[in-house]
Copies of this chain bind each other. A is one copy, B any other.
Amino acid sequence: MIELKQLSASQADFWSSLEEILAWEGVSDDKVTDIVKEILAEVKSRGDEAVLEYSRRFDHVTAEKMSDLEISLERAKAALENIPAEQRQALEAAAQRVRQYHDHQKQSSWSYKEEDGTLLGQQVTPLDRAGLYVPGGKAAYPSSVLMNAIPAKVAGVQELIMVVPTPNGEVNELVLAAAAVAGVDRIFAVGGAQAVAALAYGTETIPQVDKIVGPGNIFVATAKGMVFGTVGIDMIAGPSEILVICDGKTDPDWIAMDLFSQAEHDEDAQSILISPDADFLEKVKVSIAKLLPTMERKEIISTSLKNRAALIHVDDMDVAVEVANFIAAEHLELSVDEPMEMAKKIRHAGAIFLGRYTPEALGDYCAGPNHVLPTSRTARFSSPLGVYDFQKRSSLIQVSAQGAQSLGQIASVLARGESLTAHARSAEYRLKD
């Protein structure tokens, strides 16, 4: 039977033990940094030529020119038509729900006028162009294409450019199908740091974008970090996490499988269960032992559970909430009777799954909300990927001639207090006497 860490919130060293279990440091490897730096510099200065060279070297593609690496939308549409009908329907149904949900996130320009005619507000506009990185090969997730692309298109991004490596020419049909469903505008079969560089700086063939989103390996993440400022980027994600709070009245098999669904992502994924019912924690352990041998990804799941999982006993649900707010989990499942009451007390979580019929898996694919969520306690200060990540605001300030009199006085005093006299005089010019 697999050894799981067990904690009780009433033990003396509980909070420090919890902190130890949660601790996660992304690897920052000087060697990776150096390689990525070089790739960025080469692509910046040599464009297509450099991208092609790296794609030949790392992905073993045989293309002779960059345009050979563009995958046409016709090709993506053909993929959509050729996958099994069941998959096509599932993709389309998921996309529709995701689109519908994200429509609620659109932000609008606003303004108000003051008595003297001064107008203040914000003008909301979409990004012109966004880049979507999609990992290649086996770890390619069509659902990730939907979740990253749809908010951009809902925001009104005019051109959405997807890059996806095709190691040895291998293309994932489901990923192409998802791109067609999501409304991606152009697709290039490039990956790695060279793809990030191409999107950030632009090449002869690949247009420069304003923001790059989507998951990738350490080279991709490092490259994104380095081009940040030249373009926008999304959060760089740590390992995925689930925290389940259960009152003990959900089928322990269900809860075990929910924990597995996180653990199967990778060895570093974290699954934590909190319950005030000590017997229930035992029952879930039994379910884990029973179900684990039946899982396709049992090696990954058992490593993940052994290294990073925990079962936490609490005295009552108030303590459970306190622990949940400390953990600020990416996914928080409230498998309890009155989940909405409990959700109101949650201050930090990427996504909250309420009730016994809302396993995280539904949110990952098709409930509607985004599955790109803040990890590693960053839900304390950040949000799920959304339409708002593809819109930005410009302040609007139209001061009337009358308004300039009162505001000019205030600005003049404050500017002189900061010894910025050009500011002061610029305001004073607008004063009438």
Give A91 to B392 CA distance when docked, in angstroms.
29
Q: Is the interface of A mostly helix, strand, loop or mixed?
A: mixed
**In A333-382, which residues have CB < 8 Å from any B CB?**
339-340, 343-344, 346-370, 373-374, 376, 378-382
**Do B397 and A358 touch across chains, with their CB atoms under 8 A apart?**
yes
The chain B residue with its CB closest to the CB of A300 is B422
Give A380 to B344 CA distance when docked, in angstroms.
36
Give A354 to B212 CA distance when docked, in angstroms.
32
Q: How many residues of A contact B (CB 8 A)?
A: 122
**Do B354 and A261 touch across chains, with their CB atoms under 8 A apart?**
no
**In A389-420, which residues have CB < 8 Å from any B CB?**
392-401, 403-404, 407-411, 413-415, 417-420
**Do B426 and A358 touch across chains, with their CB atoms under 8 A apart?**
no
**In A151-206, which residues have CB < 8 Å from any B CB?**
174
Give A425 to B255 CA distance when docked, in angstroms.
11
Contacts of A142 in B (CB 8 A): 414, 417-418
- The distance from the CB of A219 to the nearest CB of chain B, in whole angstroms, is 18
Binding site for B on A (CB under 8 A): 26, 86-87, 89-91, 93-94, 101, 104-105, 110, 112, 118-123, 125, 127-128, 138, 141-143, 174, 210-211, 229, 231-232, 236, 251, 253-254, 257-258, 260-261, 263-265, 295-297, 301, 332, 339-340, 343-344, 346-370, 373-374, 376, 378-384, 386, 388, 392-401, 403-404, 407-411, 413-415, 417-427, 429-430
- Pairs A-B, 9 closest by C-beta atoms: A232-B381, A354-B398, A351-B395, A369-B395, A260-B422, A90-B413, A383-B393, A361-B423, A357-B404
